[in-house]
Structure 1
C-alpha cells in the first residue's frame, strides 16, 4: 500500500493536533474518532519505545490506541503480545472519479454546499456523527464540499469530500436507515465523483470497515478497488 494515502487521511480528516514523540506520530482527536486519535510509528520501533507513545497519549487524555499499517508488522506483533486487541480492520478504496461519477443522478437528488447545512447536521447526528466530527471536517484546509442527498421528497443522506495532493477522499457517507436500499448512497457517490473530477482529482478514495458488507459491495460495484488495508489495536486503560 502506498503510504501517501495516510497523508490524504490526515489532511482531509485532520486531527486537532499532531505532535511527535520519538519515533511516534501522536494524533489528538478531541472526540473525533479513531482516525484522528490513534498513534502511529514513523519508523522502526522496539518494545522499549512503546511506553513513550503511551505517555504521550496519556498526557493529552487519550486511551491506548495504535494505527497499524501494512509496514508495521513487527509493531503489530509486539502489541499483540502485550494484550492489545485488533479493532476495526479497514479497507482503503480508490477509483477513477470520472468512472464513479458516470450514470444518471435524478434531478434534485444531490446538492453541494460549502458548509454543513442544519439539515445535514441533523442527518449526521442520527448516524452518530456529532459536533466533534463536524469540527474535524471544518479543520480541513484544502478544497472540500458537503453533499446532501434527497429521496422521496425529503433530505435523507449526506457525505463530505475533501482534496489533498490531487487525491479526493470521501468521509462520513450517511443515509438515514429507513431510506437505505433505494440507491441514494450510489447517487451521493456519483456526485462525489463528479465533484472530484471537476477539482482535477486523479483518484476518489475512501475508508470503510471490512465488516460493512453493504458499503463494500456498493464501492466495488462503482468500479473502485481495494488499494490497501490497516487496522487499530486497543487496550482497555483499566
Structure 2
C-alpha cells in the first residue's frame, strides 16, 4: 500500500530545490518564490520545540521576502500541525489530490492518436517557453530558477512540434520505480484536440521501456474536468495536501 509519507517523499524529490534547510525534522525549501512547493516547508518530522521551530521557519522565509508556507498533508508532523498553523493565523491554499495508477492500465485507456511526440532527457528552449508562458510567474530570473528545478532530477520531457511551433509539452519525473506527471500544457490555440493525452501516452510508454510501472500525478481538488479525466484513465486518490501560508511582520 502506498503511504502518504511515501508520496510526499516522491513529490519532494521530483521537484528538487537547491536551497534546503533542515529545522529539526522540517525541510524548508526556498527558490525565490518560484512555485509554492519549492518555497514551502515539508514537515517530515516533529520538532522537539514546536514554537521555536515555527519562529525559526518564519524568520528564515521572511529574511528572503517570502511568506512562511507549509505543505500540509496526512503525513505531516507533528500530528495536529494544521490546527496549530490555523491558530497562528495561517491561511489555507491550493487543496490538491495525489493520485496514482498502474502505467499499463493507463496506457490501455489512453487513445492511440497519431500525433508525433518528441521525447527528450532535457527540455529545449521552446519547451520551456510554452510551459512558462502558460504556467510560469515572473521575469527571466524566475524562469531560470524554474528551469533549474525542472532539470534538477531525472526526468523525460515530451513535446509536440507543428510547423516549427511547440504546441504541447509535459514532464515525467523518474524517482526510484515511480514516474510522476508534471507540467502538462497545451497552447490555448490547440487545446481539446488530444495533444495533452498524446504527450502523456508517449512519456508513459517510454517509462515502461525503462522499467517503470507506477505513475502519480497531482490535481487541484476543485478542478472537476481534470479529476474526471484522470478517473477515466484509472488514477485513484491515495493522498492529499494543501498549503498553509502567513504573512508575518518582520522582527
Residues 1:174 and 2:174 aligned together:
no
**4+ residue stretches of structure 1 with deviation over 6 A?**
none
- Encode CA deviations 1:58-96: one digit per residue, 9 max, x unaligned: 344432111111133511001111111110011111111
Structure 1 gaps of 5+ residues are none
Residues 1:124 and 2:131 aligned together:
yes
1:83 match: 89
- Secondary structure of residue in 1 paired with 2:80: helix
1:198 to 209, 225, 229: 209
Query: Is the contact between residue 160 and residue 167 of structure 2 (CA under 8 Å) also seen in structure 1?
Result: yes
Q: Distance in 2 between matches of 1:116 and 1:205?
A: 21
1:42 match: 44
- Secondary structure of residue in 2 paired with 1:139: coil
- Encode CA deviations 1:197-223: one digit per residue, 9 max, x unaligned: 122123111112112222222211111
Listed as ranges, the matches of 1:185-224 within 5 Å are 185-224=196-235
Query: Is the contact between residue 101 and residue 189 of structure 1 (CA under 8 Å) also seen in structure 2?
Result: no
What is the CA distance between 1:151 and its match in structure 2? 6.9
Listed as ranges, the matches of 1:17-166 within 5 Å are 17-45=19-47, 46-72=50-76, 73-102=79-108, 103-129=110-136, 130-140=143-153, 142=154, 144-149=155-160, 155-166=166-177
2:9 match: 7
Query: Is the contact between residue 100 and residue 189 of structure 1 (CA under 8 Å) also seen in structure 2?
Result: no
2:140 match: none
Equivalent pairs counted in the alignment come to 236
Q: Distance in 1 between matches of 2:233 and 2:52?
A: 45
From the superposition, tell whether residues 125 and 43 of structure 1 become closer, same or farther in structure 2 (CA, over 3 Å). Answer: closer
Aligned-residue CA RMSD in angstroms?
A: 2.2
Q: Which moved more, 1:190-199 or 1:96-105?
A: 96-105
Q: Please report the TM-score for the alignment, with normalisation by the length of structure 1.
A: 0.89
Q: Please report the TM-score for the alignment, with normalisation by the length of structure 2.
A: 0.85
